[in-house]
Amino acid sequence: MAAKEQKTLDKKKLQALSDTPIYKIDLPANRYDLLSIESFAVALKVFMGDMPPPVYKAIEPPTPHEMVVSESVRAVRPYVVCAVLRNVTFSPASYKSFIDLQDKLHQNLCRKRTLVSVGTHDMDTVKGPFKYDAVPRKEIDFVPLKEEQVLNGENFIEHYQKDLQLCKFLHMIEKEPNFPLIRDADDVVMSLPPIINSRHSQITLDTKNIFIEATAVDEYKANVCINQIIAAFSYYCKEQFTVEPVTVKYADGRQVVTPDLSTKEMECKVDWMNRSIGIEWGAEDMARCLTKMLLEATVKDANTISVKVPPTRSDILHQVDVMEDVAIAYGYNNIVKKAPPTLSVGKQEPHSKLSHMVRMEFAQAGYNEALTLSLASYDDCFVKMRKEKDLALAVSIANPQTPEFQMCRISLLPGLMRTVFASIATPVPIKLFEVSDVVLKDATQDTGSRNERRAAAVYCSTSSALDTIHGLMDHVLQMLGCAPKSAAQPEGYHIAPSEDAAFFPGRQAEVFVKGQKVGIFGIIHPQVLKAFGVGMPVTAMELNLEPFV
């Protein structure tokens, strides 16, 4: 159609093209239930009133299905969620859609298999109970999907490093001494998650019964993933929208029946949703349209709707999500545009405005802006800066996951020193600045702490440059409307000797404005330079911008 409209082909080729329109539909990132053509078709039929919202049911199998999880997988991918689809009929198109949905879920919800990895198997080629455990590499032998020969776990990584599609997933297990395996009762390997399935249990067009497993580091995401596959392809089961559950038995004694097809109910207020959207709808109208959006809704009273959220709608977390569906069903283009009832004038926040002005001055002086992390280590903020550890000043992080993030920074200089070290191979002088917040404890605040906007700069070269940093400090202060103290300017700024341990003695000074200390500048102490791995002199300044806001 596009080629015909744009006339980009010759007449004969244009006549051979189809006139069938092709629709491109953009889906919201949180609507996983619309990722397959099957689930999208069901949603469209329900919206058009051609069918009621489907009800997904778990039916008991003749023989219970079990998945036994070993303690050995706790360090790799500790969770698994399973399900069985019975009496499925595939066509070439639906089979392709089945594979495509798994790929889309892997890329989006599963975050490229880092959170969840899905495997699907021909149930008739394996038998339960199934096992999920981690096995030493040398004990693994199986024929992977699309391969002809048996592959041993010892050369598994080397083999798939040449595979352009699968090599990007190897980092998740390549350093592990044991690989996770899904096996059946006869120890037949079904999959090595999160990389590849076994050829033995591969799905084909003739497959009738499907065993689905999702190994994960996030159990909730695994349940969401399995539910989406079930919702889409239980449509092709002989008994539509049914699934057989699997009991997952963990090593600690916990037993979970999966998939979880339970619904959740919430109450929504009609007047709040009307006010939020800007419409005037009654409870009956809202309930009818929510049902069209796959949310079974009933009127509880004139101002309350009870909404039953199906297992496929993981995006519905709060009343505001229901309100969004009401707005979509109503039609965004049908909402009457009107001016807001309140009159307000927007303007730049004072801290942001001042910070922008200071950044411009630093940049025009030839300095490059650095953006360092707000969290830091005790070592950087205290030990390397030759200061005593002061927990009364610093906001500490409870149970830090890494020693690099133990506290909120109390100065911008440690971050700039680390940036100088990382930039040491660049031509000198290295001129860096940062305008950002530090966090300090403050018992007068509700949170017990406060943010303080500061500006800092460093100058690194083959020789110290105290005059350069002094001049930069003077320039910034004058730009802030603060002239040097004199008889004509008694309220101006002045400098005084300083004894900060991070700076060289006798080569540092504090800056005062109206009797309040607002900054410091000087030559960084050689021991600080050595601690940060910087082999050249560094001159630095730091200024508190709060008094100037």
Buried b (16+ CB within 10 A) or exposed e, 330-364: beeeeeeeeeeeeeeeeeeeeeeebbeebbebbee
Residue for token pair 């859609």: 97
Least confident segment among 73-77, 338-342, 480-484: 338-342
CA distance 228 to 261: 11
Counting Cα atoms < 13 Å in the Cβ hemisphere of 123 gives: 19
Under the banding of pLDDT at 50, 70 and 90, the label for residue 373 is very high
Average pLDDT for 326-340? 90
> Who has greater pLDDT, 490 or 79?
79
Q: Give the tokens for residue 230.
A: 């079930």
> Who has greater pLDDT, 204 or 22?
204
Tens of pLDDT along 245-273? 999 999 999 999 999 999 999 999 999 99
Under the banding of pLDDT at 50, 70 and 90, the label for residue 3 is very low
Do residues 247 and 256 touch, judged by C-beta distance below 8 A? yes
Instruction: Order across the sheet with 264-269: list the strands.
Output: 264-269, 304-309, 296-301
Residues of the chain with pLDDT > 90, as a percent, come to 80
Whether pLDDT at 5 is above 70:
no
Do residues 302 and 343 touch, judged by C-beta distance below 8 A? no
The predicted pLDDT at position 14 comes to 62
Tens of pLDDT along 29-70? 889 999 999 999 999 999 999 999 999 999 999 899 999 999
Question: In this structure, are strands 242-243 and 57-58 parallel, antiparallel, or unpaired?
Answer: parallel
The secondary structure of 128-187 as a DSSP string is: SSEEEEEEEGGG-EE-BTT-SS-EEGGGHHHHHTT-TTTGGGGGGTTT-SEEEEEE-TT-
What dotted CATH number matches 264-334? 3.30.56.10
- CA–CA distance from 410 to each of 131, 223, 361, 474 (Å)? 51, 43, 24, 23
Tens of pLDDT along 513-540? 988 999 999 999 999 999 999 999 999 9
Looking at the DSSP bridge assignments, the partners of residue 369 are: 433
The predicted pLDDT at position 10 comes to 63
Would you list the domain boundaries of the chain?
Answer: 55-258, 264-334, 350-548
What dotted CATH number matches 55-258? 3.50.40.10
The secondary structure of 331-355 as a DSSP string is: -GGGSPP---SS-------HHHHHH
Please provide the average confidence, as pLDDT, over all residues in the chain. Answer: 91
For 394, phi then psi, to 5°, come to -95, 145
- Helices 219-233, 37-48: axis angle to 10 degrees equals 70
The predicted pLDDT at position 509 comes to 94
Q: What contacts 154, CB < 8 A, 6 or more positions away?
A: 137, 138
Whether pLDDT at 4 is above 60:
no
The predicted pLDDT at position 338 comes to 84
Q: Give the tokens for residue 191.
A: 């999959």
CA distance 120 to 133: 17
Tens of pLDDT along 79-116? 999 999 999 999 999 999 999 999 999 999 999 999 99
Please tell me the pTM assigned to this model: 0.65
- Helices 466-479, 350-364: axis angle to 10 degrees equals 140
Tens of pLDDT along 340-349? 778 788 888 9
The predicted pLDDT at position 413 comes to 96
The predicted pLDDT at position 446 comes to 87
The predicted pLDDT at position 487 comes to 72
Residues comprising the chain, all counted: 549
What dotted CATH number matches 350-548? 3.30.930.10
The predicted pLDDT at position 18 comes to 67
CA distance 200 to 125: 7
- CA–CA distance from 482 to each of 235, 453, 494 (Å)? 74, 18, 10
Instruction: Order across the sheet with 493-497: list the strands.
Output: 368-369, 430-441, 449-460, 538-544, 516-524, 503-513, 493-497
The predicted pLDDT at position 24 comes to 82
CA distance 506 to 464: 14
The predicted pLDDT at position 9 comes to 55
For 84, phi then psi, to 5°, come to -130, 125
The predicted pLDDT at position 1 comes to 46
The predicted pLDDT at position 6 comes to 46
The predicted pLDDT at position 312 comes to 93
CA distance 541 to 454: 10
Residues of the chain with pLDDT > 70, as a percent, come to 97
Query: Which amino acid is it at 214?
Result: A
Compute, in degrees rounded to 10, the torsion defined by CA atoms 276, 280, 284, 285: -90
Q: Give the tokens for residue 418.
A: 């680390």
Tens of pLDDT along 450-478? 999 999 999 999 998 999 999 999 999 99
> ω into residue 129 within 30 of 0, thus cis?
yes
The predicted pLDDT at position 392 comes to 85
